[in-house]
Amino acid sequence: MACNDHLVLEARKNPEYLWSVIRAVKEFRAALVDLLKLYVENSTPTPGTLPEIVPREWARRSDIAQRTKRVARASGLAASISSVIDIGITVQGVGVVDPVTAWQTITRPKPLLTPADVLGACDQAIGHLESLSTQAQTQRPPTVGAEALHPAVWDAAAALWRDGHFRQAVAAAADAVVLMVKKRTGRNDIAETALWQETFSDKEPQSGKPRLRWPGNSADRNVATMNSGLRLFAPGVHMIIRNPATHVDAQLDQQTALEQMSTLSQLARCVDKCDLVEAPQSGGSAS
């Protein structure tokens, strides 16, 4: 088996990685839908020459630029989907086009794709990835111990753990979970404890201050309970695990360290499953 084939096979067996790709595709799709609100279908009868869509009369250039930047960023994060499944669309005279990386052609002359092509590919990909994730989870052999922790936690801590530096391993794992949240929210402007508090705040998202929300209907009792719990759990874990491991110069025994890393692993899995909720972009509403 070729090296690339082996990597694809391993990715398809990793439920956590598959869920990270699903989340990235969902966020790309949501960003594109938001951008499309500023456009309207091109009614000029010149198929295949002019863009599929054109800006609405009331749409401001600054709003289009801001939302386009968001889609471009989300596209980059979702590009890893091509390493797991084939989502290419065959375009006559061109060949196979990746709809995630080539989404911008819908706004350009001689477009290769339509908005429906890109959105439909995203929906199909999400369904395929969810099926792969379920299959990978059921086929995964049971594992116990530190190696079974969330990959972000174990990857950061592994070398220190194996050398017996358990406190440092916990600190590294905690920083890795913080980095996960910084990457998802795009925030690096506040202290870590405040980051957790604001990320899971029950307040509406603001510009530059997105929130993480447990997936599902916010009115559902179980979803509301999870969101309330995360508002307390996330900053609490940071304060009682990360801060002492970083600032207190005392070694941890292996059992205590394993329990703390298990807690960090649980928090990381919650971060993976949460939806990113961003403030509505400025600009008029679609008609």
Stretch 103-118: mean pLDDT, rounded? 91
pLDDT band at residue 8 using 50, 70 and 90 as cut-offs: low
Pick the residue with more confidence: 61 or 147?
Answer: 61
Stretch 142-159: mean pLDDT, rounded? 82
Which distant-in-sequence residues (6+ apart) come within 8 Å of 183 by Cβ? none
- Looking at the predicted structure, is the pLDDT value of residue 279 above 90? no
Distances (CA, A) of 27 to 20, 52, 199, 200: 11, 22, 16, 18
Of 16-20, 55-59, 159-163, 204-208, the range with the lowest mean pLDDT is: 16-20
Q: How many CB atoms lie within 10 A of CB 55?
A: 15
Stretch 145-157: mean pLDDT, rounded? 87
Of 6-10, 11-15, 28-32, 274-278, the range with the lowest mean pLDDT is: 6-10
pLDDT band at residue 52 using 50, 70 and 90 as cut-offs: confident
Residues 248-260: tens digit of each pLDDT: 888 889 999 999 9
pLDDT at 48: 62
**CA pair distance 181, 195, nearest whole angstrom:** 8
pLDDT at 142: 57
Of all residues in the chain, the percent with pLDDT exceeding 90 is: 66
**CA pair distance 94, 39, nearest whole angstrom:** 26
Q: How many CB atoms lie within 10 A of CB 205?
A: 19
Of all residues in the chain, the percent with pLDDT exceeding 70 is: 91
Of 24-33, 66-75, 136-145, 180-189, the range with the lowest mean pLDDT is: 136-145
pLDDT at 4: 52
pLDDT at 143: 57
> 3-state secondary structure string, 32-78?
HHHHHCCEEECCCCCCCCCCCEEECCCCCHHHHHHHHHHHHHHHHHH
